C-alpha cells in the first residue's frame, strides 16, 4: 500500500503499509508494488475500456534539455581552491554544480531544463556553459561558451567537437546523447559532459518500443482506448476525461513514461519477465482463475485516484541519486462531471463517476460510482468479467467502505457470514447455572439494602428458606427477538450440568446496518409470580452480559462451551451454541 497509490512507481514519496515487492532501485526509482499487478495498475486498453478515460497519465507539453556534467580539468585551480560550473538555457533559467575542490573536480550531476513555448524545436535554445574559480568576493571565470543546436541536418556531431566557443553548433536528434568528452573551454580547461534533447513530440525510443506488444505489457495492443468505447460513451452523452485549462498536455502510455523517466532496467523487467510469461499473458487477456465461486466484497463511492498529470521538474541531481524528471502538475485542471483534479492527481467522484455496466466497456450511462479510496471501481469490479467463463460471481458492494476500513464494517461481516453459512441460525443450550449462597440471599434482600437504616427492608429471619423457594430463568436477547429458557428452582442452581435438560432456544442471526451483526445479551431473571410464574425481573446484583457474534460463531464452529460471569454478583453460567449450517467447501476454511 503506497501512500500515493498507483503513481508510486513513478513519483517518489513516503510509503505506508505493506509493499508486496521492491523490484528494482535504479537512479532512485523504487518499484513499489507487486510486478504481478502491472496490468491492473498501469494503463492498458482492456482496463480503460471500463472507464471514461483514454489514458491514466498526461504530461504538460514541454521541451527539455538534459545535461550531465561529469568532470573537469582545470590547471589554473590551485590546490585547496574550488571550482564549479554554471549552466543556463536561453529564456529558461541558470543552475550551478556543487563546488568541488582541486583542479580535477568530479561533479557527476544531472540537470533538467524545460520550456513550454516552441516545444518541438531546439534551434531557438542555446546552452551557456561557464566554468568558475570559486572566490570569496567575486568568482573568476576561467572559461565560458554559448553553444547552439541544429536538428535539421546542420551542425557538427558532438563527437567531433574539440573546443567550446560561441560559434559551436551541434547536430541534435531527439533522445540522442550528445557526448562532449574532454572538450576545451577557456584557455586551458577541459570539460566532460553529455547533452540530450527531448522535444514534446519525441517518438518512442527503440529500446522502449514493444511494437505490437502483448496484452498488459504495452504496445499497440494496449492502446489507451478504442473507437467502439468512444462510441458507447458518446451514445450515453459522456466524454473521456482529459486535462483542461490554459496549458497543453499530451497523453502518455506506460512505455512512454518509462522512456521519459529513463527507466531502462525496470522496462526490461516488465518486458522480459512478464510479456514472455504464458500464464501472465492468459491472465492479462481476461482468463478467469480456476475457481467456481467468487464473492468480491469491496467499498464504493469514496474519492479514488484514477489518473495523474505531470510536469517536468526543473532541478539537478547527483548521478545515481536521481529521483524523477517529473512531478505532479499542481496547475492542472480537469473539467468533467465524474472526475476531480487536485494538485495533479485525478480522482473518481463518488456517485458521479461513469463506469461501464458491462465488462466489455460497450455500455455506459447506467452506472455512476467510484472506488474505495485506494482502488478504482473498474478494478474492484473486474471479476464480473469472469462470469463468462462459468464462474459464479457474487459481488457485494458496500457503500462508503474504504480499502482496509471495510474489514471492520458490519456489511462485510454479514456478507462473509452468508457466504460460509447456508442458514445462520443459532440455538442456545444452557448447560449449568451457578448462584452462590450469598447471591441467593439477594433474591430476598437486594445488596444495596441498609438494614440498620431501613429495618423494614431487612431480610426476614427465614430469608434463606424463602430464597430457596425462588425460581429463575435465563433471558436471551438476540437481534430483534427475545427468548427465555425454562424456569428452574434457585435451590438447584449449584453449577451441576443438565439443569435445563435438552431445552434450547433458537434465534436468527440478524443484520442491523447501523449496529451490524448483533451479539446475544444474556440476563438472569428472577420470577415475579407465585410458583415461578410471571414476567420476571433482573436478578438483584447481576448485570446483563453481551456475547459478540464472533465469540458465538467461534463457539459454535469449534463446539466449545461459553462460560459467562454476570459481573461480580457470584452468578455464572455455562452454555453451548449450535446451529451453524456450513456451505459445502466453506466450513473447513472457516473452521481454521
Tens digit of each residue's pLDDT (9 = 90 or more) over 441-453: 888 765 454 545 5
Last residue of a domain, which of 356, 382, 408? 408
Burial (CB count <10 Å: 0-12, 13-18, 19+), residue 589: exposed
Residues 396 and 452 in one domain: no
Residues 214 and 354 in one domain: yes
Residue 6 lies in a domain: no
Last residue of a domain, which of 198, 223, 247? 198
Residues 293 and 339 in one domain: yes
Residues 467-509 have pLDDT tens digits of 667 889 999 887 667 888 888 898 899 999 888 887 777 666 6
Residues 397 and 267 in one domain: yes
Q: Is the pLDDT of residue 41 over 70?
A: no
CATH number of the domain enclosing 573: 2.60.40.150
What domain range includes position 305? 40-60+204-313+329-408
Q: Is the pLDDT of residue 222 over 90?
A: no
Residue 96 lies in a domain: yes
State how many domains the chain has: 3
Mean of the per-residue pLDDT values of the chain: 82
Q: Is the pLDDT of residue 20 over 60?
A: no
Residues 95 and 183 in one domain: yes
- Nearest Cα neighbor of 130 from 94, 159, 104, 103 is 94
pLDDT at 425: 67
Residue 308 lies in a domain: yes
Residue 404 lies in a domain: yes
Average pLDDT for residues 299-312, to the nearest whole number? 92
Which of 150-164, 240-254, 448-462, 500-514 is predicted most confidently? 150-164
Residues 95-143 have pLDDT tens digits of 999 999 999 999 999 999 999 999 999 999 999 999 999 988 899 999 9
Residue 416 lies in a domain: no
pLDDT at 23: 41
pLDDT at 592: 39
Residue 11 lies in a domain: no
Residues 369 and 426 in one domain: no
Residues 208 and 98 in one domain: no
Residues 372 and 484 in one domain: no
Residue 339 to residue 251: CA distance in whole angstroms: 17
Residues 71-98 have pLDDT tens digits of 999 999 998 899 999 999 999 999 999 9
Q: Residue 278: which residues within 8 A CB-CB, separation 6 or more?
A: none
Average pLDDT for residues 322-342, to the nearest whole number? 92
Residue 546 to residue 430: CA distance in whole angstroms: 15
CA max distance for the chain = 122
pLDDT at 457: 52
Residue 523 to residue 510: CA distance in whole angstroms: 20
Residues 388 and 500 in one domain: no
Residue 116 lies in a domain: yes
pLDDT at 467: 67
pLDDT at 507: 64
Residue 243 lies in a domain: yes
Of the chain, the percentage scoring pLDDT greater than 70 comes to 80
Last residue of a domain, which of 341, 374, 408? 408
Burial (CB count <10 Å: 0-12, 13-18, 19+), residue 72: buried
pLDDT at 308: 87
Residues 511 and 451 in one domain: yes
Residue 413 to residue 419: CA distance in whole angstroms: 10
Average pLDDT for residues 23-35, to the nearest whole number? 44
Residues 385 and 242 in one domain: yes
Q: Which residues pair with 471 in a beta bridge?
A: 489
Note the pTM of the prediction, 2 decimals. 0.75
Strands (E) in 81-230, as ranges, are: 82-89, 93-96, 100-101, 106-115, 126-133, 140-150, 169-171, 177-185, 189-198
pLDDT band at 11 (very low <50, low <70, confident <90, very high): very low
Ranges 139-143, 148-152, 234-238, 304-308: which has the least confidence: 304-308
Residues 77 and 150 in one domain: yes
pLDDT at 172: 98
Residue 270 or 590, more confident = 270
DSSP-assigned letter for residue 138: S
Residue 236 to residue 366: CA distance in whole angstroms: 9
Amino acid at each position: 500500500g503506497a501512500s500515493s497509490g498507483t503513481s508510486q512507481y513513478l513519483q517518489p514519496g513516503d510509503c505506508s503499509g505493506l509493499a508486496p515487492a521492491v523490484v528494482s532501485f535504479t537512479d532512485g526509482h523504487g518499484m513499489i508494488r507487486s510486478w504481478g499487478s502491472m496490468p491492473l495498475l498501469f494503463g492498458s486498453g482492456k482496463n480503460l475500456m471500463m472507464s471514461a478515460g483514454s489514458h491514466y497519465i498526461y504530461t504538460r507539453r514541454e521541451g527539455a534539455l538534459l545535461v550531465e556534467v561529469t568532470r573537469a580539468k582545470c590547471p589554473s585551480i590551485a590546490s585547496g581552491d574550488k571550482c564549479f560550473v554554471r549552466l543556463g538555457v536561453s529564456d529558461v533559467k541558470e543552475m550551478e554544480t556543487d563546488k568541488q575542490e582541486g583542479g580535477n573536480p568530479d561533479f557527476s550531476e544531472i540537470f533538467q531544463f524545460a520550456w513550454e513555448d516552441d516545444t518541438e524545436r531546439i534551434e531557438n535554445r542555446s546552452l551557456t556553459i561557464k566554468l568558475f574559480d570559486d572566490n570569496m568576493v567575486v568568482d573568476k571565470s576561467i572559461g565560458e561558451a554559448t553553444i547552439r543546436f541544429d536538428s535539421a541536418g546542420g551542425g557538427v556531431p558532438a563527437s567531433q567537437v574539440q573546443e567550446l566557443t560561441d560559434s559551436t553548433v551541434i547536430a541534435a536528434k531527439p533522445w540522442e546523447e550528445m557526448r562532449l568528452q574532454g572538450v576545451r573551454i577557456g584557455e586551458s580547461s577541459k570539460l566532460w559532459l553529455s547533452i540530450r534533447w527531448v522535444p514534446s513530440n519525441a517518438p518512442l525510443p527503440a529500446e522502449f518500443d514493444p511494437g505490437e506488444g502483448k496484452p498488459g505489457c504495452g504496445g499497440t495492443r494496449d492502446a489507451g482506448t478504442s473507437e467502439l468505447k468512444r462510441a458507447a460513451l458518446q451514445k450515453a452523452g459522456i466524454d473521456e476525461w482529459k486535462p483542461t485549462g490554459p496549458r497543453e498536455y499530451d497523453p502518455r502510455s506506460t512505455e512512454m513514461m518509462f522512456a521519459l523517466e529513463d527507466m531502462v532496467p525496470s522496462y526490461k523487467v516488465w518486458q522480459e519477465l512478464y510479456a514472455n510469461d504464458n500464464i501472465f499473458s492468459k491472465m492479462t487477456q481476461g482468463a478467469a482463475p480456476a475457481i467456481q465461486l467468487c464473492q468480491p466484497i469491496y467499498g464504493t463511492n469514496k474519492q479514488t485516484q484514477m489518473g495523474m498529470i505531470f510536469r517536468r521538474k526543473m532541478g539537478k541531481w547527483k548521478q545515481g541519486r536521481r529521483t524523477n524528471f517529473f512531478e505532479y502538475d499542481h496547475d492542472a485542471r480537469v473539467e468533467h462531471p465524474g472526475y476531480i483534479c487536485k494538485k495533479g492527481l485525478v480522482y473518481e467522484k463518488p456517485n458521479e463517476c461513469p463506469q461501464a455496466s458491462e465488462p466489455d466497456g460497450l455500455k455506459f450511462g447506467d452506472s455512476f460510482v467510484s472506488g474505495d479510496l485506494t482502488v478504482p471501481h473498474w478494478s474492484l469490479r473486474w471479476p464480473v468479467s469472469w462470469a463468462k467463463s462459468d464462474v459464479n460471481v457474487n459481488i457485494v458492494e458496500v457503500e462508503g467502505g474504504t480499502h482496509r476500513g471495510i474489514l471492520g464494517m458490519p456489511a462485510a461481516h454479514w456478507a462473509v457470514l452468508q457466504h460460509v453459512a447456508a442458514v445462520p441460525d443459532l440455538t442456545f443450550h444452557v448447560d449449568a447455572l451457578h448462584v452462590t449462597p450469598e447471591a441467593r440471599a439477594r433474591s430476598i434482600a437486594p445488596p444495596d439494602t441498609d438494614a440498620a437504616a431501613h429495618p423494614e427492608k431487612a431480610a426476614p429471619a427465614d430469608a434463606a428458606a424463602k430464597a430457596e423457594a425462588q425460581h429463575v430463568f435465563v433471558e436471551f436477547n438476540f437481534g430483534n427477538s427475545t427468548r427465555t429458557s425454562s424456569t428452574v428452582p434457585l435451590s438447584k442452581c449449584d453449577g451441576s450440568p443438565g439443569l435445563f435438560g435438552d431445552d434450547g432456544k433458537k434465534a436468527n442471526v440478524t443484520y442491523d446496518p447501523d449496529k451490524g451483526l448483533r451479539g446475544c445479551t444474556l440476563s438472569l431473571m428472577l420470577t415475579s409470580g407465585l410458583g415461578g410464574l410471571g414476567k420476571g425481573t433482573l436478578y438483584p446484583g447481576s448485570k446483563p452480559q453481551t456475547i459478540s457474534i464472533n465469540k458465538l460463531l467461534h463457539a459454535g464452529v469449534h463446539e466449545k462451551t461459553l462460560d459467562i460471569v454476570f459481573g461480580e454478583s457470584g452468578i455464572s453460567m455455562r452454555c453451548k451454541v449450535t446451529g451453524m449450517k456450513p456451505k459445502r467447501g466453506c466450513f473447513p476454511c472457516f473452521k481454521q
